[in-house]
Amino acid sequence: MTEADTAAAAETAGTADTVLCAVEGRTGVLTLNRPRALNALTHPMVLRITEALTGWERDPGVEQVLIRGAGERGLCAGGDIRAIHDDAKAGTRSSAAFWRDEYRLNAYIARYPKPYVALMDGIVMGGGVGVSAHGSVRVVTERSRVAMPETGIGFVPDVGGTHLLARAPGLLGTHLALTGSAVGAADALLCGLADHFVPAGRLPALTAELAGAPAREVLGRYAAEPGPGALAGARGWIDHCYAAATVEEIVDRLLGYGDPEAKEAAETILAKSPTALKATLEAVRRAAALGALDPVLEQEFRVSCHALTSPDLVEGIRAQVVDKDRSPRWSPATLGEVTEQDVARFFAPLTGDGPGIATG
């Protein structure tokens, strides 16, 4: 039984509550409640969140929604990738059903008619970005580490991540997509992944005050300046190097730029899945052309489903999470071996997999 199956069974039996739903004053509060798993999302959690948001949308007594993570380590570290690993290895399709509902939730959050306040404290990665960064009020702290690290497990940024990264200033989003690097508060604000910085120590008081007042009135009393970030001063080499046509050319430019940070970025990229890197670059550039979130989520669903049959997804999760040897054996092993056809298959139409992402 996978971790996702265990969570589902526990919820059905009433022995666990992985999403706590409560109304505090005028605010509906969602608490992701798997702190030992860094609040990683399972399919039942996605359905629970969707159900709560739907009910609160219709409830005139709920004026806004707040989402937060239990524990001190983060809002959410992403999806339950062990379950995805098991699914891909077995050749089954439960991950496709999970992604379909997850991406529908991401779209729902983006168009939610009431203020949606996301406390992006601590680790916020992958699926955690999906349930927070599409919200209308996004709060980071000095502990925030926001990332779309999918290339490191042979996957491609999803949950609307390619949409968000494509909209970042210059080519900062392409840099973050390929390297999978995590950013702190200032850089999350710069990249458009967050709106406000609030020191972590003020979050309990902020949450308490939100029970009785709208977020737009409350945040001004808690928000502060985050201090300097790292990316603003790196725009020169980032915008130059990531403008190259291919991943190979990007790496060559980074290595030849003469900046230690650019060289470090190249080395980081070269450790990722070559296939995932090329598919990611294509996905971000296509997302920029598509513009709106809904068609990007449709594209990401195709890419994610095709990734299930890629050997690099199973291998990447094995190396990072299952065996934890941090030594993935990618196939193909080099960027030069990944063909245009290899990349194109990620974007091919799906057949026999039911309806797509209903975002309207």
Give catalytic residue positions: 79, 127, 150, 158
Cα–Cα distance, 285 to 162 (Å, whole number): 8
DSSP letter at 41 equals B
Tokens of 320: 């990072």
The DSSP annotation for 337-349 comes to G--HHHHHGGGSP
Angle (CA) 67-69-70 rounded to 5° is 135
The residues facing 69 across adjacent strands are 32
User: Residue 302: which of 335, 359, 350 has the closest Cα?
Assistant: 350
DSSP letter assigned to residue 249? H
Q: Hunting for tokens 């902020």 — which residue is that?
A: 206
Q: What are phi and psi of 320, to 5 degrees?
A: -90, -30
**DSSP secondary structure code for residue 321 in this structure:** I
Give the N- to C-terminal CA distance of the chain in Å, as an integer. Answer: 34
Query: For residue 176, what is the enclosing H or E element?
Result: helix 172-179
b/e for 188-202, b at 16 or more Cβ within 10 A?
bbbbbbbbbbbeeeb
Q: Alpha-carbon distance 95 to 304, whole Å?
A: 9
